[in-house]
Chains A and B, each alone.
Chain A
Amino acid sequence: MAITTESLPPPGWGLEGSAAASLLEAFPRGQLSEIVGPRSAGGSSLVTGLLAHATAAGELAALVDGADAFDPAGAAAAGAALRSLFWVRAGRRLDHACRAAELLARSGGFAWVVLDLAADPTAPAHRPAPALGPATWIRLQRAVRDTPTRLVVHASRHLAGSAAALVLEVARGSARWAGAPRPTRLEGIGSRVEVVRSRPPSPQPSPWEVAWRL
């Protein structure tokens, strides 16, 4: 019987090995970090990858979903241990989502708290980012301070201002399709993850070239 290797990812794909470790270590404990990027750039895949690595290592993570867009099946496929993932569906109320993230971060019991404020999947690309005042980010930053928690905000653009100790920007690469001349299968996308702000300066090499497979 012939064994096809078509579906196996080529070397260097995904959050494997040292790439994953250096990316995970880039996020400081007790600080607010941000992941920003446009639609289909891979920001959500990066968030899912972080959650997968954290929960598979036995850490407890919380995801506050401001757009009700999280796909648990996709996270499980990425290797996440769902029983260690606490999912809060904020019903598109961004103020509630921020408040919930603040409560979870303040409790100090979660290794990761991810606040997903990326726009609704079908929101127009030109729609302005949610109007959350600077006080929101200061409050979140103070909530996570002196805790072992990493608080990560995922949004389509930079929101947290100087409250964020780390800002990672995810840039869209090209989509990979299998089959020629007519595509028969979406294989995945490539992303470029770059540290655009780090306080103190990140010792991790940046940027990372990451490929996400379907």
Chain B
Amino acid sequence: MAAVRRIGCLLVPRFAAAAAVRAEPVLGGRPLAILDEARPGRLVIEASAEARALGVLPGMTEAAAQARPGVVLCRERVPAQEAAAQQALLEVAVVHSPRVEEAGPGEVYLDAAGLGALFGDEPALARRLAARARIAGLSARVGLAGSRVAARLAARRAEELVCVPPGTDATHLRGAPIALLDLSLEMARRLARWGIRTLGELADLPGRALYERLGPEGARLQALARGEDPRPLDPWRPPPRFEETRELDWALDNLEPLFALFAECADRLCARLEAQALAADRFEWSCRLAARGGETIAGAFVPPVPTREARAVMAVLRATLAAEPPPAAVTALVLRAQPVRVAASQEPLDGEGRPSPRTLAETVARVIALVGPGNLGVPVLLDSHRPGAIRLDPLSATPSPLPSPPEGRGNGGVLTLRRCRPPRPARVRLIGGRPVHLRAEGLAGSIVASAGPWRTSGEWWLDSRWVSDEWDVELADGTLGRLAHDGSTWLLEGIYD
């Protein structure tokens, strides 16, 4: 027995306007016209239902739209905002079904067969899809049927959701206009000449005669009109990066409003990550400046643990931008996330495990706000003999299943050097090639014992070559230090303590 095919259609009507409302929620429920700046006269390409009620229609000029009674808000079309909204819609679908197809702006199909055990019956699934789309900032209509065309028609006719019972697609489609099939211009003219205006009329034509006149395309269209849709879904794959953007009609020259807009982007981005059970291990931001010919400044940061906490992201972003504000007013901003799947980890039974990723991310974000990004992390020794050669990596929130192996020879009883960063210039008096007196900032005295020099060098094959002769010295007051001589200058590298 052939499996029953069920297709869901998520449809966002007036998609460009919906994308603008998603990016700027205060526009919701208000008369809104979307303009295409590229066309002469700044034509309206889309109008919200409220704007249509005032008589604003696509094709009007901006001036004509503004002349309608009532206040019509006009926004330029922002392809990046539409792309982000489209991604969000696709992500709503892909959370519910492994097979999702992108059909066009604001239109997504998903394979809805066999989802009953997960989400309940079809009306429950449709309600859930609509609710998830609302959380993603989009007001979507949902149609469920046995074919794409029937699901699309159901979604178009729905206030919010319509489920066409299995086996009734043909009946459901009979009265639908022929334009629902996305015909080519030539095919539409031909069918119009024949007087075919509805899918029912197309479905009733004799199949053999239709094939003789229109070929395989005619047979395919008739099958679609009868609710027969054998073509599998063309699968959509999630993008490697998540992005949210905001274009501004006015330039922002104050940090607090800029933070508020970034926070909106972070909220949307993190909601998208959460919907797919993902987190991000790298965030990138950029701001387009009003001055300097629209120059863009950008930056990136790596959270200490992969996160989808908007508050943690904003803590780092605030610290970063507050430390180095944009040099001019900002006209657009973008926030991107590099998604990763975070494996669940077992908490140890003795309760001495690491902090939860959420706690750790929040704590570390607040510490970053204090000390600045780049000043905290797990130290990693670089493969170099250069003194103090390290880098800082993010701290993993996932505990190692085994105790960490010691990296050195020690048992804890190693004399520690407190480093001067950077090493302090010092004046050293020598007698017989050995240091006998030291004077540096905050430290001076006779040297009563010394050992050295211990020569280290490296990167002699590069411009960054270095050489250092190190001495261990003991001053008369008992202070033990390490000196270095690079051939011309004496430096105090640190104090043993």
Contact = CB atoms under 8 A, between A and B. Distances in A.
B404 A58 contact: yes
Contacts of A69: 418-421, 494
Given A85-B378, A89-B371, A213 B363 contact: no
A82 B414 contact: no
B480 interface: yes
B416 A48 contact: yes
A44 interface: yes
Interface of B: 351-356, 359-360, 363, 366-367, 370-372, 375-381, 388, 390, 392, 395-396, 399-400, 402-421, 424, 440-443, 449-451, 472, 474, 477-480, 492, 494-497
A57 B381 CA distance: 20
A22 interface: no
A185 B404 contact: no
Given A16-B411, A45-B416, A52-B412, A86 B376 contact: yes
Contacts of A120: 420, 442
A48 B352 CA distance: 21
Nearest to A89: B375
Nearest to A88: B376
Given A59-B352, A148-B352, A121 B420 contact: yes
Contacts of A201: none
Given A45-B416, A80-B406, A189 B496 contact: yes
Contacts of B477: 125
A79 B354 contact: no
Q: Which of B366, B381, B406 has the most CB of A within 10 A?
A: B406
Interface of A: 9, 13-16, 20, 39-45, 47-50, 52-53, 55-60, 67-91, 93, 96, 99-100, 103-104, 106-111, 118, 120-125, 127, 148, 172, 175, 177-179, 183-186, 188-189, 210-214
Contacts of A99: 370
Given A86-B377, A96-B371, A175 B474 contact: yes
Contacts of B420: 69, 120-122
Contacts of A175: 449, 474, 478, 480
A2 to B, nearest CB: 21
B37 to A, nearest CB: 47
A100 B371 CA distance: 8
A85 B449 CA distance: 35
Contacts of A78: 408, 410-414, 416
Contacts of A118: 418, 497
B430 to A, nearest CB: 15
A171 to B, nearest CB: 11
A214 B383 CA distance: 21
B396 to A, nearest CB: 7
